[in-house]
Structure 1
Amino acid sequence: MKKEIIVQSSTNDTRVAVLENDQLVEIYIEETIGDRLVGSIFKGIVENVLPGMQAAFVDIGREKNTFLYVEDAIPDNSYGKNGVKINIRDILKVGQEVIVQVSKEPLGTKGARVTRQLTLPGRYLVLMPTVDYIGISRRIKDEKERERLQEVAEEIKHPNIGMIIRTVAVDATKEQLEEDLNFLVSVWKKIEKELALPGTKRLIHKDLQLVERILRDVVTEDVDKIIFNSSFDNEKIKGFLGKEFSKYKIVLTNQADIFAEYNVKAELANALKRKVWLKSGGYLIIDQTEALTSIDVNTGKFVGSIDLEDTVLKTNLEATFEIARQLRLRNLGGIIIIDFIDMQYEKNQEMVLTKLEQFLSRDKTKSNILGITSLNLVEMTRKKVRRSLSSIFETTCPCCDGKGRIFSVESVCTNIKDELMEVAGRTMAETIMIKSNPKIISSLKGQGERKIKELEQKIGKNILLRIEESLLINNYEIKAVHNIE
């Protein structure tokens, strides 16, 4: 599979696109003067403890307090072990000083989520300074390689400091792992010195900027090419990749908009649409709500050539790839319900689930498929870490307030007429003024202003119509006018 990473930096922001077989599958965006919180470590103060929610609010000096669940409140990750669950009141007290790390960005009205289980990610491993443990990525399936990495980790491990070996560490040498570990330990020692200084509700450590994180977390041996615009140079990139620099084809270009050349802009525009077309002529309908995301699969223009079951199966199988891609591209998280087209045979259902799992395995963000119901609904979850694409590029419509539907012109006109009758019945003024959108005014007038004249006769008042371009179609103003200037 062909895999490319495109890094486009400007004075306003840095954007990174990940392409697989020339298709956009992931997008990362960070403002040049960013305020990204995930990975940052703070010294905070417990503001409130909520036994009913088994959680606490921690003030880290930001606009909103952060949220700390009980399972994240124990630094050594021992919550629930040996069947013993601990009450949040036994761990935290109001006014207590705590060291926390942001695990989820603030979303909507919710503050950031934090944990006391600190981690420092490196190229090959993740340092866990608060636990004494060695873990190996579950994505590493080869048992011999797992055993080798376990042995190396035990040899290089520092006392009382844990680590998790990352997937990218497959075939990495002992020297590479040790170099990565020593660097992370040196970072932790700097953090400890900062923690020893007085003062709370302050930033202790901030994670790397976007490009460095991409080179650390996303660039793996299956990447064919990394393309940068003129804001970067070979030495800077080499500093990020170190000895691995020679493994990758690095392309530097002076082109200001390399996203346009690789069709990233068009792909992004499509990723914000509700309907996603499949190559066969079928399509997906993707709807996001606060609680969950629903994805509906439809045959659309695809009529097949054998029988209905074959047509349905082919559409559903094609949809599995696009669903997995859209989840990554839109960065959809939480509960996800997929409404596949009804399939008669259980073997076909299993085939669709297997394909979906296969395509989701390319996703670095953890997901969990819970199964398929008798209604062909697939229930799954995907971890929420970053903001969704929609929340970055879009805002709630002031006209429909996020519903996606607004009152028709006829409905608004009916409401205006009802309110007009009410105002006319309680005012001595001879004239009533209506301010509204041009479409509403036009509909109220009718052809040759026939409708408005009939309305004036009905209420026994003069009606003054005023076009207000700034008013949305469902907004209007009605008021009695005593003096007309």
Structure 2
Amino acid sequence: MKQLIVSCESSTIQAALLEGRKLVEYDAQHPIDTQRAGSIYLGRVVNVLPGMQAAFVDIGLTKNAFLYIDDVLPVHIQKQPKTKPPIGDLLTPGQKVLVQVVKDPEGSKGARITTHFSIPGRWLVYMPGAGYTAVSRKIEADEEKARLKAAADSLRSGEEGLILRTVSEGRSEEELRRDLLDLREIWALVEQRAASAAAPSCVYQDLELLPRLARDVITDDVLEIRVNDAAVCDGLRGLLKQRSPELAARVQLDDGAEPLFERFGITEELARSMRRKVWLPSGGYLVIDPTEALTVIDVNTGRYTGTSSLEQTVFRTNLEAAAEIPRLLRLRNLRGIIIVDFIDMELPSHRERVLETMTEAVKKDRSKTVLLGWTKLGLLEITRKRK
């Protein structure tokens, strides 16, 4: 059972998604927050670096954004030249360029940007100029994939590109059409603003927390939605009624005296899960160290000494870690390259079981997570898409 708990305190909105009463996702919107990823800017090229095949673009942030040549060439591989041209043939200093942020500024690095635009809707992702249709890999039935692709192909026009999101499974062509019309209106507004805007300026900002919840988080399997603020409750119901009236009825105003996050144990669990050292049920623990290049997760037996053999002790600890790590990736929104140093196992069957456990667990993640397998040193390589 999935539950969504929305707590409103002092102009801050917090949202927690529970699966089987276990915290798996968390998001918050503070009054001073400004989300960058997903937003579209009219920028100005500051300088071009031929040796890096990249350019720095001023989009109005403290640090200039980074634009690589692959993000300037056409998104469709069939339209790309066989040999990449020099970046100087595509961009010149002072040139205006419309770009979308794909990675927020982090540490000493500026934002990563692209000209391959994508605007997510309820059922679709709209990609102007992409020229192809794709279906989420998480939709497993071949017949449903073919139906959705055929529907999208009949709806898209010209060089439009569409991705059928996982939640589009079972949706009618009419529902997809309405979603596409909304997304076309958004893109038309982006082009209109960009035509008259001065560079640098933001011409489109991705949705705030409540619309994102309605679009991305609240699906048919979210059976309970509790909100402790009447205005926010009405706003969320209104957003859901536009596309999923049956889900709007699940939004309930909670007027209990005890804070929602305290009653559901979210505050305590959030604090525990965000520490560098996270304990496992048996007494083992994880150490999580994010760096600019990648995130390293180390698995340790800790206080757990087992009862039969060292191999069984190690195997049980690793199994618990394999179930817990995918949850922490979602909750902490860890992304990019992730390396897990499991405790060494002697039996190949144990390594296979650990990998199977993680493979099943990452299927619940809305962000694309790929398990690349074991290295020669026994490390597990993972990549998780930035969102």
TM superposition score category, shorter chain reference:
over 0.9
Q: Deviations over 1:454-481 (max 9, x none)?
A: xxxxxxxxxxxxxxxxxxxxxxxxxxxx
Alignment partners' CA distance in 2, 1:225 and 1:281: 32
Alignment partners' CA distance in 2, 1:70 and 1:262: 48
Alignment partners' CA distance in 2, 1:294 and 1:302: 22
The AA in structure 2 aligned to 1:361 is K
Query: How far apart are residue 60 of structure 1 and its match?
Result: 1.4
Q: Which residue is 1:160 aligned to? A: 159
Alignment partners' CA distance in 1, 2:130 and 2:292: 35
Alignment partners' CA distance in 2, 1:289 and 1:187: 36
- Pick closer, same or farther for the CA change 1:178–1:19 going to 2, 3 Å: same
Q: Which residue is 1:181 aligned to? A: 180
- Pick closer, same or farther for the CA change 1:30–1:46 going to 2, 3 Å: same
Alignment partners' CA distance in 2, 1:360 and 1:198: 42
Among candidates 289, 292, 303, match of residue 290 of structure 1: 292
Give the structure-1-normalised TM-score.
0.75
Q: Which residue is 1:253 aligned to? A: 254
Moved more, 352-361 or 243-252: 243-252
Q: Are 2:213 and 1:214 equivalent residues in the alignment?
A: yes
Structure 2: state its 5+ residue gaps: none
The within-5 A match list for 1:370-409 is: 370-385=372-387
Query: How far apart are residue 243 of structure 1 and its match?
Result: 4.2
Contact persistence 1:342–1:375 (CA under 8 A) = no
- Pick closer, same or farther for the CA change 1:373–1:134 going to 2, 3 Å: closer
Q: Which residue is 2:278 aligned to? A: 276
Contact persistence 2:76–2:130 (CA under 8 A) = yes
Alignment partners' CA distance in 1, 2:329 and 2:70: 27
Moved more, 99-108 or 280-289: 280-289
Contact persistence 1:80–1:86 (CA under 8 A) = no
Q: Which residue is 1:118 aligned to? A: 117
Q: Which residue is 1:24 aligned to? A: 23
Query: How far apart are residue 370 of structure 1 and its match?
Result: 2.2
Contact persistence 2:230–2:253 (CA under 8 A) = no
Alignment partners' CA distance in 2, 1:287 and 1:53: 29
Moved more, 373-382 or 93-102: 373-382
Alignment partners' CA distance in 2, 1:263 and 1:302: 25
Moved more, 71-80 or 20-29: 71-80
Give the structure-2-normalised TM-score.
0.93
- Pick closer, same or farther for the CA change 1:30–1:53 going to 2, 3 Å: farther
- Pick closer, same or farther for the CA change 1:359–1:310 going to 2, 3 Å: same
Q: Deviations over 1:130-172 (max 9, x none)?
A: 2221111111111000011011112222333221111100000
Query: How far apart are residue 81 of structure 1 and its match?
Result: 4.9
Alignment partners' CA distance in 1, 2:187 and 2:103: 21
Alignment partners' CA distance in 2, 1:290 and 1:62: 20
Contact persistence 1:56–1:69 (CA under 8 A) = yes
Alignment partners' CA distance in 2, 1:317 and 1:154: 43
Contact persistence 1:9–1:231 (CA under 8 A) = no
Query: How far apart are residue 321 of structure 1 and its match?
Result: 0.9
Alignment partners' CA distance in 1, 2:305 and 2:346: 17
- Aligned to 1:8, the other structure's residue is in SS state strand
Larger radius of gyration: 1
Contact persistence 1:54–1:70 (CA under 8 A) = yes
The within-5 A match list for 1:98-177 is: 98-177=97-176
The within-5 A match list for 1:307-456 is: 307-385=309-387
Q: Deviations over 1:286-305 (max 9, x none)?
A: 22333332222122232333
Query: How far apart are residue 380 of structure 1 and its match?
Result: 2.0
Moved more, 132-141 or 302-311: 302-311
Alignment partners' CA distance in 2, 1:284 and 1:198: 49
Alignment partners' CA distance in 1, 2:308 and 2:326: 27
Identity of paired residues, percent? 43
Alignment partners' CA distance in 2, 1:290 and 1:34: 22
Alignment partners' CA distance in 1, 2:197 and 2:232: 39
Q: Deviations over 1:432-452 (max 9, x none)?
A: xxxxxxxxxxxxxxxxxxxxx
Contact persistence 1:125–1:180 (CA under 8 A) = yes
Q: Which residue is 1:443 aligned to? A: none
Q: Which residue is 1:50 aligned to? A: 49
- Aligned to 2:244, the other structure's residue is in SS state helix
- Pick closer, same or farther for the CA change 1:383–1:160 going to 2, 3 Å: closer
The AA in structure 1 aligned to 2:328 is Q
Alignment partners' CA distance in 1, 2:344 and 2:174: 54
Contact persistence 2:107–2:292 (CA under 8 A) = no
Q: Which residue is 1:451 aligned to? A: none
- Pick closer, same or farther for the CA change 1:371–1:170 going to 2, 3 Å: same
Structure 1: state its 5+ residue gaps: 386-485
Query: How far apart are residue 30 of structure 1 and its match?
Result: 2.1
Contact persistence 2:237–2:251 (CA under 8 A) = no
Q: Deviations over 1:24-59 (max 9, x none)?
A: 111112222421111211111111111222211111
Alignment partners' CA distance in 2, 1:131 and 1:377: 37
Alignment partners' CA distance in 2, 1:279 and 1:24: 15
- Aligned to 1:232, the other structure's residue is in SS state helix
Query: How far apart are residue 352 of structure 1 and its match?
Result: 0.8
Contact persistence 1:126–1:165 (CA under 8 A) = yes
Alignment partners' CA distance in 2, 1:161 and 1:268: 41
The AA in structure 2 aligned to 1:136 is V
Q: Which residue is 1:238 aligned to? A: 237
Alignment partners' CA distance in 2, 1:310 and 1:82: 55
Calculate the aligned-residue CA RMSD, in Å: 2.1
Contact persistence 2:76–2:131 (CA under 8 A) = no
Query: How far apart are residue 75 of structure 1 and its match?
Result: 4.7
The AA in structure 1 aligned to 2:262 is A
Query: How far apart are residue 199 of structure 1 and its match?
Result: 2.1
Query: How far apart are residue 95 of structure 1 and its match?
Result: 1.1
- Pick closer, same or farther for the CA change 1:114–1:230 going to 2, 3 Å: same
